[in-house]
Structure 1
Amino acid sequence: MAPLLALLFMSAILEAAGAGNDSSSQSVFSLDRYGARGDGRHDDTHALEMSWKAAWASPRPAVVLVPNGRRYLLKLVTLRGPCKSSVTLTVKGTLVASPDRVDWSDKDRRHWIVFRRVNKLTVNGGGTIDGNCQKWWPHSCKINKTALQGSSNGFVIPLLHQSESGQSENSPATSPNTDGIHITRSNDVRVTNCKIKTGDDCMSIENGTHNLHVSKVVCGPGHGISIGSLGDDYSRAEVSGITIDSVQLHGATNGARIKTYQGGSGYAKDITFQNMAMYGVKNPIIIDQHYCDKAKPCVEQRSAVQVSNVVFKNIRGTTITKHAIKMNCSKNVSHAMALP
């Protein structure tokens, strides 16, 4: 019933790094230059689209600038590539989602700011991306049981703030479906220096993600660093080359997690969780190939996403449950895992 107020990087190569390129060699395209009001009340979607279009056509590295000290109201917007050169979205002010539900179409209530087929994208700036989350949580079907089945579950990323030390995302522990960072269908991604507090996965890594490196992330509360869920609705999943390094988890439900539905196909392979510190985590290490987040119980299936070549290395800390390691693996596919 509500949109995914999030940054969705699909088929993109995203480097979420604090430092941009040399400003002397860049072309800067400010939203204000394209008629943005920046008062938080008037629609500035067109201004963002026009500044992106100019950056997209730039023959040299370009910056789309969200100026400091102002609030830019946005409806659903898709920023497309491929661009002629690298593009940096520098958010110094605030991007805020429209709070009016009529601004979101029935065909797409799950997205807000979407990047498609964009290579060499950097997001930085120290500003705020505000999804107006409190407006949408009551309409999640996980809270409002009268919400129509089959509609969006109201996934929300309410606040993304990036400072010199990285970025932080904050949602209450009770907020529904608030994945902090969601990565899918993306290659060669680096995520570093993040602090995430949320009511769902701090990071969710899903189908089509290859060569991902995550480092220096602090998570809690939340559901941990999750690969999956994969293979839902009998789908095929392909995930490989995932490294999670130097991560802290405080009071999270899970730590290092892989979750797949029965009945799926494909693979999740070459995965390393290392140098992780966990404090008061319920399930520090968990692989669950019988994951089921459906209204009805999931029935036993013979096929599954194959999980292989998984390494857990130098993981330390405390757990609030008896078993620190849980392996609920499929009976039908082989696995190779190591816990040095």
Structure 2
Amino acid sequence: MARCCKLLTGFLLWALLMLSWCEASRSRVDIYDHSNGRLKSDSIIKRRDDITHLKSFMRASSRPPATVSVSDFGARGDGKTDDTQAFVNAWKKACSSNGAVNLLVPKEKTYLLKSIRLTGPCKSILTVQIFGTLSASQKRSDYKDPSKWITFDGVNSLSVDGGTSGTVEGNGETWWQNSCKRSNAKSCSSKAPTALTFYNSNNLRVNNLRVRNAQQIQISIEKCSNVQVSNVVVTAPADSPNTDGIHITNTRNIQVSKSIIGTGDDCISIESGSQNVRINDLTCGPGHGISIGSLGDDNSKAFVSGVIVDGARLSGTDNGVRIKTYQGGSGTASNIVFQNIQMENVKNPIIIDQDYCDKSKCTEQKSAVQVKNVVYRNIRGTSASDMAITFNCSKNYPCQGLVLDKVNIKGGEASCSNANVMDKGAVLPQCKST
């Protein structure tokens, strides 16, 4: 076994040297794409991140992972005792260790946690094994940051694995009942925590995790790169306010696959600064569908590009695939593909809304986030309203390069305002310009 490990380490070292040599060579002579006249920055960044990940793997592969259990630091796991400090102490030990480390949250136990921030950088290559249940405190005074519950901050090469039973339980009812979306008598300014936040991290893996009943957003991925999320199940009641399933912002190179999301808001929301987002094999409903935006809030500049949704099933959602922007913003939402999607009983199956407003008062403005180069391919299903396709685009910044290719949505009409649309193959219903 020892000899095999040495051979593997030697091979990986050779591979690393070859990748480093290629990186140095290509960065000098092949950084310009002559076909479209721009720098190949994305490919260079990807090669650099791949090399970084390989270096991390080599450091961790020389010996078996060590295990640090929260139980060893006094965590009771009885669902009543505050285990926050035990988790902090276990994290400090795991993060400061060398090599590969598993931070274990044992199964068949429930750990009560206040707001907690687990920060890097770490010496170790960490896998957080959430095999038990993390349960949120329902006391508002237990949240130093009212917008966050569990946060991983600045931790590179982090893996979070839920095994067969790992659950993050937000106990959100306490916050939902105080939301203005539940009661007009409540203030809309009150904040609720995001259940699980990953911030400023590279080479992130989240697998086999169940997140439910978040106070607000369930999983938020912010300012990260090279992210894989797979086999997650995210659930909350259909009337739970602002409980987006997976929220992506300022993140590049992320893939979400083989996941089931049903919430009271967007199943997946993609915000400004996100690039190279790929979503595969997603089941969505209830909720507000898959949304890009909202973009351009408060006259801000927003950029989203390179989004591919390939393989999704949506049932009973308020929207299907949606792009939403405020008036007054600027920037672009571009190079987007929605394909191989089945919809059942969806109120707005395909929608672009450049007049989006979720405030008490919105005024008409001239500027807008430009929406361009969006493809809808092989999308079938039924509408639960009288609209199947809505392109409500800006008068001053019309939608450009919209393509409908083999789209068949029954039970609703199409309305296309200020939109440049091309039909390919059979399209039903066809756009009616207004």
TM-score by shorter chain over 0.5: yes
Q: How far did residue 85 of structure 1 move? A: 4.7
Native 8 Å contact 2:148 2:193 kept in 1: no
2:91 to 40, 48, 52: 52
- Report the counterpart of residue 232 of structure 2 in structure 1: 167
Q: How far did residue 121 of structure 1 move? A: 2.7
- Report the counterpart of residue 33 of structure 1 in structure 2: 72
CA separation in 1, counterparts of 2:348 and 2:124?
44
Which SS does the other structure have where 1:112 is aligned?
strand
Q: Give the structure with the higher percent helix.
A: 2
Native 8 Å contact 1:99 1:132 kept in 2: yes
2:278 to 204, 207, 213: 213
Give the 3 Å change call, closer, same or farther, for CA 205–65 of structure 1 in structure 2: same
- Report the counterpart of residue 141 of structure 1 in structure 2: 180
1:245 and 2:310 aligned? yes
- Report the counterpart of residue 331 of structure 1 in structure 2: 395
The structure with higher relative contact order (CA 8 Å, sep 6+) is 1
Q: How far did residue 259 of structure 1 move? A: 0.7
- Report the counterpart of residue 16 of structure 1 in structure 2: none
TM-score after normalising by structure 2: 0.68
1:121 and 2:151 aligned? no
Give the 3 Å change call, closer, same or farther, for CA 84–238 of structure 1 in structure 2: farther
Native 8 Å contact 1:109 1:152 kept in 2: yes
- Report the counterpart of residue 43 of structure 2 in structure 1: none
Which SS does the other structure have where 1:136 is aligned?
helix
**Greater Rg by CA:** 2
Query: How large is the Cα RMSD of the aligned pairs?
Result: 2.4
1:301 and 2:365 aligned? yes
Native 8 Å contact 1:140 1:154 kept in 2: no
1:317 and 2:381 aligned? yes
1:234 and 2:271 aligned? no
Q: Which amino acid aligns with 2:138?
A: P
Q: How far did residue 23 of structure 1 move? A: 12
Give the 3 Å change call, closer, same or farther, for CA 52–238 of structure 1 in structure 2: farther
- Report the counterpart of residue 96 of structure 1 in structure 2: 135
Give the 3 Å change call, closer, same or farther, for CA 190–119 of structure 1 in structure 2: farther
CA separation in 2, counterparts of 1:268 and 1:88?
35
CA separation in 2, counterparts of 1:43 and 1:213?
38
Give the 3 Å change call, closer, same or farther, for CA 63–268 of structure 1 in structure 2: farther
Q: How far did residue 29 of structure 1 move? A: 2.1
Which SS does the other structure have where 2:186 is aligned?
coil
Give the 3 Å change call, closer, same or farther, for CA 208–79 of structure 1 in structure 2: farther
Q: How far did residue 24 of structure 1 move? A: 6.8
1:266 and 2:331 aligned? yes
TM-score after normalising by structure 1: 0.85
Question: Quick check: 179-188 or 25-34, which moved more?
Answer: 25-34
CA separation in 2, counterparts of 1:123 and 1:221?
26
Native 8 Å contact 2:291 2:321 kept in 1: yes
Native 8 Å contact 1:311 1:339 kept in 2: yes
Question: Quick check: 26-35 or 246-255, which moved more?
Answer: 26-35
- Report the counterpart of residue 38 of structure 2 in structure 1: none
Consecutive unaligned residues of structure 1, counting only runs of 5 or more, are 1-12, 14-20
CA separation in 2, counterparts of 1:322 and 1:64?
52
Which SS does the other structure have where 1:48 is aligned?
helix
Give the 3 Å change call, closer, same or farther, for CA 104–209 of structure 1 in structure 2: same
